[in-house]
Structure 1
Amino acid sequence: MPDPQTQKGHVVLVGAGPGDPDLLTLRALNYIQKGDVIVHDRLVSDDILSLVPEGVEKVFVGKAPGRHILKQDEINDLLVELANKHKLIIRLKGGDPFVFGRGSEEAEYLLKHGISYDVVPGITAAAGCGAAARIPLTHRGMARSVRFITGHHKEGHGLDIDWASLADPEMTVVIYMGLKNLNNIVANMVQAGRAPDTPAAIVENGATDKQRIAYTTLGNLPTTRLEGNFKPPSLLIVGQVVEVAKILNND
């Protein structure tokens, strides 16, 4: 029989969705309420954190553009450290752990250190914000594909994106973390062939009670962002499907 003192804990990478507790999966809620310690990001809402039982340790490791409480390597080390002290560690992430959430990096690190893990999917921002703004990501005869890209890049590196691949007028492009590099994103997409009058939207704090939405065009995204003073977390959606929102919202 293994020595209980040498057994390592189990880490569960849990997707918290876009912020509304009602959009949590039942499995996510179950883990949130039975974990020994909760390690959470900045995008996990206070409403969701309120579901953590009283007395359970909550560790904030949030990251904002240019401001990191802990670097990713430090977060990885922290998970290993906690797994040596606790039985069940909940790594709570906004959206889905495997969609621009670096969950796979953390999973790899855990495996290298002999720590078991599991993954609970969450509603990713593209789906949550799209539905909240009444923007379908696909629509027959209008959008036959969807592309998720990140507008964020490593310090000292440019945006490594095949811009020409985004020029298809029947493709919906969803841009995560795109505000900081918005001018470059728009310029590159237009230069690669995407029409500047392509419908577009900015969704700030999507699927929460703080949600704000602006409908505009690709070329006017930077102006719309400045005039509306949009801030992270904001999602950008570019494509003809944004026009459908006007119908679904009875505008």
Structure 2
Amino acid sequence: MRGPVMLRGDRSREATTTDQRLLDARGPSDWVHTDPWRVLRIQAEFVEGFGALSELPRAVTVFGSARTPPDSPYYAAARQIGAELARADFAVITGGGPGIMAAANRGAKDADGLSIGLGIELPFEQGLNEWVDIGINFRYFFARKTMFVKYSQAFVCLPGGFGTLDELFEALTLVQTQKVTKFPVILFGSQYWGGLVDWIKGTVLAAGNVGEKDVALLHVTDSVPEVLELVENAYRAWEAEQQAENQPVR
């Protein structure tokens, strides 16, 4: 017998069973580096992410630099933002690393809120910070970005580097093209972000490469209460829209 298939005569001379070949022989390992196998890994990341996060309450993602030290005013602001979001019954999602991410997760924990970290495999391993309640480590940036967008009602960007800029412009593009409609993009720290916003207005908008309504997607503030107000107003507007369409509200 070969599984459900019966073989007789010369066709039955296989000396080992399928289970035995699976368990006894290691065989070549190149197949784990092929693109078809990578597709299964990618699929697994989406399944794990959706499974772990599907029952989250409403949530806000906080982006920012992993290099921000604990004595920075922006670290203190991120911690306060995390705490205020938790008190307003929002889960706090970050990239799970140190710096601004750790501060926001820590703030959520300070206020007994739900703190989530979505990490990424990097050559310089940093691991998930100690204030994460639910943590997932991803191999692929695009799978991780999908989780940020799918399970957030707002993005709050504190000062950061290329990773933060990547996440910021990804969010803006998705909102601009109406792939997502339910959240504002908030830049905390006018001194840090002001030059970028001025360039967008003075160069990108002036060249006709974006419109006035695209620039209006950005909200710049130095006020933690204003962050909360923007988040809650946007959520209420989205909630009303969902109820009008008889859609379930998360």
TM-score bin (small chain)? 0.3 to 0.5
Q: Which structure's residues are more often helix, by fraction?
A: 2
TM-score after normalising by structure 2: 0.33
TM-score after normalising by structure 1: 0.33
Q: Which structure's residues are more often strand, by fraction?
A: 1
